[in-house]
Structure 1
Amino acid sequence: MTIRTAGIIGAGTMGNGIAQVAAVAGLDVVLIDVSNAALEKGVATLTGSLARLVEKGKIDAAARDAALARIRTSTDYAQLADVDIAIEAATENLDLKLRILRQIESVVGADAIVASNTSSISITALAAVLDRPERFIGMHFFNPVPLLQLVEVIRALQTNDATLAAVRELSERLGKTPVTVRNAPGFVVNRILVPMINEAFFVLAEGTSTAEDIDAAMKLGANHPIGPLALADLIGLDVCLSVMEVFLKDFGDTKYRACPLLRELVTAGRLGRKTKHGVYRYA
């Protein structure tokens, strides 16, 4: 199938980024969230992102205006009735995602693909609550969505070949490189990345080195473009903690125990860049 219209559920960091790349690629987009305030904030964010792309010469002003014109917003799930694909991009909370996915399936057409942008939750488990699980798949984008090229395309046990092929083709149309992944906790990137970030918090908590020096060491010694603690702030410390908790539950292995310092920072509301304070402070 050719995907021409996309519904994005969640106008936060990931959702507005997915909406942006879809609109730039020529898809008509319906962006859904629970409140007009959340939608306005999401549109403001992607509008600013598009403006920066124009400033850098990545797209021209006409392309920016055309992309914005392709995006409409709503708090009403009924607006998803005619989309070819609906992508859930809510926070990493299993109960919330299950509720949203059931709501999506109740309004989209029988041939529509339903996808989740989850970074750690089992795609097979999410598919199991749907009446048409063969049309469900994982599309794990990376933050910031307009800049990072990877999409992990995660096939549930129930996902059929046509859905996988359509989503891989869509990913390429969005300017991304799809990597097909079998369903497993954390998939590929987060399975490797988030435990490394968690270990950096242990190193910091033990006083082995400062946050600045830990990040500098990994940038200069491992050739990483950003240090693990700065990356945690970018991802969101709450997201990192949530992923570690999923790993601990699903693998049953104590090596995935979240660092107490990470947990304490999340409890304090120091979630990283989105709250202007995480490991580091932000203006």
Structure 2
Amino acid sequence: MTLPQRVGVFGGGRMGSGIAHAFLASGSHVIIVENGPDLADQARARVSDSLAKADAKGRLGVPLQDALARLSTTADAGELAGCELVVEAVPEDAKLKAEVLALVERRAPGAVIATNTSSLSIGGLADGLAAPGRFLGLHFFNPVPVSDLIEIVTGPRTDPALVTRAQEWATALGKSPITVSDSPGFASSRLGVGLALEAMRMLEEGVASAADIDTAMTLGYRHPMGPLRTTDVVGLDVRLAIAEHLCRELGPRFEPPRILRDLVAAGHLGRKTGQGFYTW
């Protein structure tokens, strides 16, 4: 199955720009919607830079100028009209996501709507939609252009035929899909955050250094990156928000350690701020 010809991405930050990159590299036209002209321009620059870097490494797969010609950015959600698929990629806030999803449904009637949430309930987010059967989770992983995985999350009202289409889209993007039913943290965040929180507790207790804890997992268990370094890449604030959500939903085993709360309060959010569990 071919990918949608016209794809919308609502939110042009790190994840949204990565999602746009993936679809552009696979031949789709992509329109990114941002909250204002300046942010829209920043999103264009972010995607353009990502595409250029991939092209320089011989990893883009299509002519760079062709990919750039298929990219549009805007602050007008009305330009989503005619999109076959719109992926919401705004910050991990349930109220914000619900507002954006409802807006997308109004501006792109008939489109399949997906959320890139890493932990929020698909069923809950669908409550504000008129057509929840056309809604599901497409959880991409950072950095999107080189990550192999897409987690397809089905809500209680998601049309089963849409799940099959989403699996085919993931394959057409050159990625491997897994399908997970709607549950707190799905499969990836629940496992990844659980491991990271235990690594943080070990660091707090002086069991070993951050580097040695990570090395235990990279060399002992063949993980490509240790849980603390991964947290730095994802963002400590993002991990904290997910842990708090899982703690509310699943209980105290997901209670965020003090070290995580303290680092976030100090503004040490990982790679994006230059300091987290590591100095970048």
Q: Same fold (TM over 0.5)?
A: yes
Query: Which structure 2 residues correspond to residues 37-52 of structure 1 after superposition, within 5 A?
Result: 37-52=38-53
Q: Does 1:24 align with 2:25?
A: yes
Counterpart of 1:92 in structure 2 is 92
Counterpart of 1:101 in structure 2 is 101
Question: Do the aligned residues in 1 keep the contact of 2:43 with 2:73 (CA within 8 Å)?
Answer: no
Q: Does 1:70 align with 2:91?
A: no
Work out the CA distance in 2 between the residues paired with 1:187 and 1:125: 14
The secondary structure found in structure 2 opposite 1:274 is coil
| Identical counterparts, % of pairs | 39
Structure 1 segments (4+ residues) deviating >6 Å: none
Q: 1:30-52 CA distances to partner (integer Å, 9 max, x unpaired)?
A: 10111233233332222222222
The secondary structure found in structure 2 opposite 1:29 is strand
Counterpart of 2:263 in structure 1 is 265
Counterpart of 2:35 in structure 1 is 34
Q: 1:154-197 CA distances to partner (integer Å, 9 max, x unpaired)?
A: 11000012221222222122111111111111111111111111
The secondary structure found in structure 1 opposite 2:208 is coil
Question: Do the aligned residues in 1 keep the contact of 2:32 with 2:43 (CA within 8 Å)?
Answer: no
What code does the residue aligned with 1:58 have?
R
Work out the CA distance in 2 between the residues paired with 1:142 and 1:178: 11
Counterpart of 1:9 in structure 2 is 10
Work out the CA distance in 2 between the residues paired with 1:48 and 1:77: 24
Q: 1:58-117 CA distances to partner (integer Å, 9 max, x unpaired)?
A: 236x622111111100011101111001100011111111111111111112x2101000
The secondary structure found in structure 1 opposite 2:98 is helix
Work out the CA distance in 1 between the residues paired with 2:208 and 2:39: 39
Counterpart of 1:138 in structure 2 is 137
Work out the CA distance in 1 between the residues paired with 2:163 and 2:273: 36
Work out the CA distance in 1 between the residues paired with 2:249 and 2:261: 19
What code does the residue aligned with 2:28 have?
L
The secondary structure found in structure 2 opposite 1:96 is helix
TM-score (norm 2): 0.95
Counterpart of 2:163 in structure 1 is 164
Give how far 1:131 is off: 0.6
The secondary structure found in structure 1 opposite 2:150 is strand
Unpaired segments ≥5 residues, structure 1 = none
The secondary structure found in structure 2 opposite 1:273 is coil
Question: Do the aligned residues in 1 keep the contact of 2:17 with 2:43 (CA within 8 Å)?
Answer: yes
Work out the CA distance in 1 between the residues paired with 2:201 and 2:54: 38
The secondary structure found in structure 1 opposite 2:139 is strand
Q: Mean alpha-carbon deviation: is it higher for 270-279 or for 230-239? A: 270-279
**Residues 18, 195 of structure 1: CA spacing in aligned structure 2 closer, same or farther, 3 A cutoff?**
same
Question: Do the aligned residues in 1 keep the contact of 2:25 with 2:60 (CA within 8 Å)?
Answer: no
Q: Mean alpha-carbon deviation: is it higher for 213-222 or for 155-164? A: 213-222
Work out the CA distance in 1 between the residues paired with 2:168 and 2:6: 14
Give how far 1:127 is off: 1.0
What code does the residue aligned with 2:56 have?
E
Q: Does 1:124 align with 2:157?
A: no
What code does the residue aligned with 2:270 have?
G
Counterpart of 1:256 in structure 2 is 254
Question: How many residues end up aligned between the 2 structures?
Answer: 279
What code does the residue aligned with 1:71 have?
L
What code does the residue aligned with 1:249 have?
R
Give how far 1:126 is off: 0.7
Q: 1:99-155 CA distances to partner (integer Å, 9 max, x unpaired)?
A: 11111111112x210100000001111111111101000000000000011111111
Work out the CA distance in 2 between the residues paired with 1:50 and 1:233: 24
What code does the residue aligned with 1:23 have?
L
> RMSD of aligned C-alpha atoms?
1.5
TM-score (norm 1): 0.94
Give how far 1:18 is off: 0.4
